[in-house]
Structure 1
Amino acid sequence: MNDTPHSLSSSRTLWDLLDARARLIPGRPVLLQGGRTLTFGALRARAERTAAGLHGMGVRPGTVVAWQLPTRLETVVLSFALARLGAVQSPVIPFHRDREVGFALRESRAEFFAVPGVWRGFDHTGMARRLGAKGILQAYDALPEGDPAVLPPPPAEGTSVRWIHWTSGTTSVPKGVLHTDRSLIAGGSCLAHALRPRPADVGSIAFPYAHIGGPDYMVMLLLYGFPAVLFEQFALPGAVAEYRRHGVTIAGGSTAFYSMLLAEQRKEPAVRLIPTLRLLAGGGAPKPPELYHAVTREMGVTLTHGYGMTEVPMITMGDPGDSADHLATTEGRPPRGMEIRIVDGEVRLRGEAVCRGYLDPAQTAEAFDEEGFLRTGDLGRLTDSGHLVLTGRLKDVIIRKGENISAREIEDLLAAHPAVGDVAVIGLPDPERGERVCAVVEQPPGAPELTLRTVTGYLRAQGLSVHKLPEQLEVVEALPRGETLRKVLKYELRERFADE
């Protein structure tokens, strides 16, 4: 095998990819957490021993194993042990509780369930028992181990479904998304080749490893042979010390992470928050252009934003070499092999990184068109340079008196207002208009109180058409967000303000 990142991205399985990297640089660190370090070689060796322990418990190729674990070295080891066995793994975000976890266990028909015991004051083992979970395994401090000599050969192909990820919760009902090793490698390759990390870089995983971004990021580490710091619990300002301690050069996660780091930087504008940081990168939620300019200006770093979803972990990614205008206003370009088609304004996708569908066949049939393109539900357009510009969601199009209004357009304008910390624009049922435009605003500390008149006056001054102006303003202490990439849960806002 030609040992370049691009050649490694052709690995058949995730285990092949780990094995290849571990043979090249076994002693180089791959995961850092607190005072603990795991090298590429040690990750492979520990995963094999854990795979043998799981094999002794009855885990075989095709066995469905759900796991709900925080972002820890042991979590990554367990995941690769399952990959070594060819099991089907179903990661569950550790913040989810009985309703979501019970749904995932029932729908996936999990035969084993790995939990952290009591974590952050919550008894996960007790919940697993309440739900009648099978094969409960406490896998926080210790993992089962055995002799790798008992193991069958690793999986020979990476095109079978071996992952069931769950949609992140911006809708009220989750869906089980079916992935293969190859689809995850293709998605991680897009991220890696766009960012072009260097061997001396140090990355960071500040989001739950159970999220689709976990294996996505891990593929990048394996392709380019550099380490990342794991955060079991991400909070500022505490996390800054870990960034500084390990000399993190690449950080990020989503728009909310950029905003949190920027707010921390503003406490001491003259002192660089993370001196070694050169690149912020992420995706998962819209990025207002004003936030891009504020981050690059005040933190002195490059910011590249991408576009992905549980169904397609990485679709496009900003390139550090792109112009400031492209980085501020687009989601980057797709990699080779990702086909993007715009149909009636909707972004549709086809390629190796696209999931195989959903656990529910009816959902799969609805999600793909007759030519095999995934309907994303996102609205967008491709520029002449091949960059993708997202303009909103199909469900975020507010239809007022028969006119289509983009919530994203209004949000981007309001995000630049100094009295707005964050904003979500939603459509609410209205007997006269069909829907009315409602802006829900989270204000920064010390900001003057906003009024609807202030907001509409500002938007008029920005040139927004009169028929798009909000007719309702709600100021909240905090917008409701999912626990993974901190996306705003608009369905909760619609339910809360529909009758007001």
Structure 2
Amino acid sequence: MDSGLDAAASRWEWLNLTHLVERAGLDPDRPAVIMDGTVRTYGALRERCRRVANGLLALGIGRGERVAVTSGNRIEYVETELGIAGAAAVMVAMSWRLAAQERISLLAHSQARVVFAEARFVAPIAAARAAGELPDLLRIVAFGDAAENVTEGADEEFEDFCAAAGTEVPACAPPRLDDPHEIIFTSGTTGSPKGAVWSHGTVLWNNIQQVMDFGLRPEHSNYVMLDLNYIGGRHDFTLALLHQGATVHVRRSGGFDAAEALDYITANAVSHVLWVPTMLYDVLRVLDATPYDTSGIEMIMCGGAPLSRDVAERARAAFPHTRFVQVYGLTEGGGTTTFVPDAYLTTKLGSAGKASLHNEIRVVDDAGASCAAGTVGEILVRGPAVTPGYWQDRDATAATIVDGWLHTGDLGHLDDDGFLFVAGRSKDLIITGGMNVYPADVEAVVRAHPSVHDVAVIGLPDERWGERICAVVEAEPGHIVDEAEIIAFCRSRLAGFKKPSSVRVVAELPRTLSGKVRKHLLRAEPYPPA
């Protein structure tokens, strides 16, 4: 039957990320982004985004060409991102924590045409370009001011770049919903990072999902304490709140200080925060010693690792007026792929929750069949906030996205109520004496010992058993970890084949920006034989 409609007409494909500042109805005088006392209203943010876009177009940056940003948190980050979107270019979000050669390698891999770089990163980039290592790099634009000596090696300074460009609507064909918006290099808990692509639609659907799942409103605000280059910095609360016309507060990168965070949040009536578990532990220690009025905090999102019962109960007591959501997200699958509603925080302890709005999850066995409740398998995700693939890596894309389902590489199970429990990365599975050991099971027990602040369980080569279990422990402040005591503690609470055969104490576990332990680095450390 002929419906009389044009099936090819796409009434939504013109949507793109610039609509966060270009849409009608925004209050131009409302604060959009605040940092270090500097306020960008929505009107000023729109103007700055247009200047960035027009500056890029003046350089001849074409549709889909890559523009990198390598900087710690700063107020210019958001306007640069939206300006790149306005020029229909693709942002390459790079961690400021990279070593110089890592940064240069990612610039080369992405064939970046322009890089917006913090002043301290400019000289090595300029040297690499001069040496012919970055043949595609046309322009280096430095964030900073004259006091930071930004001119050495840079082509121009950011404020000059913006001042030379106009504030008119960029004269280019706007990006479409499925066009790539950014490349985010994955955190690399299992090795070398890959460039996951987020389209304009991926970002917008992620925003819509969080607005609806978490009830975000224009009067809300958040305080960004994670790096903006990281998925948790922008894609958890931040862009979703800008989508609603709300206010985003940004903290400078590095050196989390729980007391400073509480001071700022309470003084500025911040309503929403994201803390990874290590941050929440520090916050609770401060609250144990110093009272704060936390009644204005409406929601705390926690992700990166499950909360222990002790921490969940302490958090409940410390923030009696606050909704808690525990989330499971990944660079390829959206900022909040699943979440545990506040009402289930303690009754579904350790769970990653149920699928977020518009998402679907499955747990499958090696043959791809759905696992029964309680049976561990690989976690699969499908939804509009899932990556379309990896940048210039068709093989990795084909292996990871099969029939529309993202194969996460994470192991987990669903309980009888459909709540997801994550057991760990498939590459972290320990096989000892032919028995499968999921590190999360052992970690939950070791973490319950009063002398243990946090733990990562890894498998080490063993001539007899194939692998042996090692618990790498951070001590609770003021406590001494005794190896024999930890092993005995586990022996009484775990099957014999699951207990650690050794315990190693470290000052600090190596982590990604999301708080996940980089176990491949722990396994690479030299260990004495059992």
What residue identity is the alignment partner of 1:292?
A: A
Distance 1:239 1:83, change over 3 A: same
Partner of residue 229, structure 2: 210
Which of 171, 174, 180 aligns to 1:161? It is 180
| Aligned counterparts of 1:444 and 1:457: Cα–Cα separation in 2 | 18
Partner of residue 26, structure 2: 24
What residue identity is the alignment partner of 1:254?
A: V
State the 1:421 CA deviation: 0.8
Partner of residue 143, structure 2: 139
Which of 459, 476, 490 aligns to 2:519? It is 490
Alignment of 1:333 onto 2:357: no
State the 1:368 CA deviation: 2.4
- Contact between 1:48 and 1:81, CA under 8 Å: does it hold in 2? yes
Alignment of 1:434 onto 2:452: no
| Aligned counterparts of 2:81 and 2:184: Cα–Cα separation in 1 | 13
Listed as ranges, the matches of 1:37-48 within 5 Å are 37-48=39-50
Partner of residue 17, structure 2: 14
Distance 1:333 1:327, change over 3 A: same
| Aligned counterparts of 1:372 and 1:198: Cα–Cα separation in 2 | 32
Partner of residue 367, structure 1: 400
| Aligned counterparts of 2:386 and 2:264: Cα–Cα separation in 1 | 34
1:399-448: per-residue Cα shift (whole Å, max 9, x none)? Answer: 0001001100111222222111111111111111011010011012211x
Higher relative contact order (CA 8 A, sep 6+): 1
Partner of residue 121, structure 1: none
Listed as ranges, the matches of 1:51-66 within 5 Å are 51-66=53-68
| Aligned counterparts of 1:200 and 1:372: Cα–Cα separation in 2 | 37
| Aligned counterparts of 2:180 and 2:443: Cα–Cα separation in 1 | 38
Which of 122, 125, 131 aligns to 2:122? It is 125
1:277-329: per-residue Cα shift (whole Å, max 9, x none)? Answer: 23210323343343222222234343211111111123434354533335633
Listed as ranges, the matches of 1:70-469 within 5 Å are 70-118=72-120, 124-132=121-129, 133=134, 134=137, 135-140=139-144, 142-143=158-159, 144-145=161-162, 146-149=165-168, 151-153=170-172, 155-216=174-235, 217-234=237-254, 235-236=256-257, 237-268=259-290, 271-272=291-292, 274=294, 276-300=296-320, 301-318=322-339, 320-326=341-347, 328-344=349-365, 345-359=377-391, 360-369=393-402, 371-447=403-479, 449-461=480-492, 463-469=493-499
Moved more, 230-239 or 410-419: 230-239
- Contact between 1:15 and 1:154, CA under 8 Å: does it hold in 2? no
SS of the aligned residue for 1:357 comes to: coil
| Aligned counterparts of 2:263 and 2:110: Cα–Cα separation in 1 | 39
Give ranges in structure 1 of 5+ residues lacking alignment: 1-8, 119-123
What residue identity is the alignment partner of 2:248?
A: A
- Contact between 2:183 and 2:196, CA under 8 Å: does it hold in 1? yes
Aligned-pair RMSD on alpha carbons? Answer: 2.2
Moved more, 419-428 or 388-397: 388-397
SS of the aligned residue for 1:358 comes to: coil
TM-score (norm 2): 0.85
1:192-224: per-residue Cα shift (whole Å, max 9, x none)? Answer: 322213443321111111112344133311333
SS of the aligned residue for 2:413 comes to: strand
Which of 48, 51, 62 aligns to 1:49? It is 51
| Aligned counterparts of 1:127 and 1:192: Cα–Cα separation in 2 | 41
| Aligned counterparts of 2:520 and 2:42: Cα–Cα separation in 1 | 42
1:220-279: per-residue Cα shift (whole Å, max 9, x none)? Answer: 1133332121011352133333223212221123222222212222233xx137453232
- Contact between 1:304 and 1:317, CA under 8 Å: does it hold in 2? no
Partner of residue 5, structure 1: none
1:452-494: per-residue Cα shift (whole Å, max 9, x none)? Answer: 2211222234x31111000010011111223x22322111111
Moved more, 150-159 or 26-35: 150-159
1:318-355: per-residue Cα shift (whole Å, max 9, x none)? Answer: 35453333563322221343121211110012221111
Partner of residue 35, structure 2: 33
Distance 1:254 1:115, change over 3 A: same
1:21-56: per-residue Cα shift (whole Å, max 9, x none)? Answer: x63322222212121112222211211122122222
| Aligned counterparts of 1:397 and 1:490: Cα–Cα separation in 2 | 11
| Aligned counterparts of 2:243 and 2:79: Cα–Cα separation in 1 | 18
Distance 1:306 1:153, change over 3 A: same
State the 1:451 CA deviation: 2.1
- Contact between 2:341 and 2:353, CA under 8 Å: does it hold in 1? no
| Aligned counterparts of 1:332 and 1:437: Cα–Cα separation in 2 | 28
Give ranges in structure 2 of 5+ residues lacking alignment: 1-11, 146-157, 366-376
Distance 1:399 1:46, change over 3 A: same
- Contact between 1:92 and 1:165, CA under 8 Å: does it hold in 2? yes
Distance 1:104 1:289, change over 3 A: farther
Moved more, 84-93 or 223-232: 223-232
Identity %: 29
Q: Compare CA radii of gyration and give the structure with the larger one.
A: 2
| Aligned counterparts of 2:295 and 2:244: Cα–Cα separation in 1 | 23
What residue identity is the alignment partner of 2:424?
A: G
State the 1:188 CA deviation: 2.9
What residue identity is the alignment partner of 1:434?
A: G
Kindly tell me the number of residue pairs found equivalent between the two proteins: 480
